[in-house]
């Protein structure tokens, strides 16, 4: 792993106004999907895994937004 990659992964990336809007849009879309799946899927381990993976997807999406080059 390159030093620049480590710096990017472990440095705070202050959001610009544009990126704040991107974060909010992605968060709203994932939240909407979570509600739809919650209403559709039966309770159980699999549903719990789906929700956990959605949380992970949101975290990675936010990282992608935050870490993109200026």
**Averaged pLDDT for residues 52-64:** 97
Q: Which sequence spans correspond to the domains of the chain?
A: 16-67
Predicted pLDDT at 68:
87
Model confidence pLDDT, tens digit, residues 3-46: 988 998 999 998 999 999 999 999 999 999 999 999 999 999 99
**Averaged pLDDT for residues 34-60:** 98
Looking up tokens 């968060």 gives 27
């Amino acid at each position: 792993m390159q030093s620049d990659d480590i710096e990017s992964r472990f440095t705070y990336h202050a959001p610009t106004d544009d990126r704040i809007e991107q974060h909010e849009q992605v968060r709203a879309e994932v939240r909407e999907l979570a509600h739809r799946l919650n209403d559709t899927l039966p309770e159980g381990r699999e549903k719990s895994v789906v929700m956990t993976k959605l949380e992970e997807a949101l975290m990675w999406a936010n990282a992608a937004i935050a870490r993109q080059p200026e």
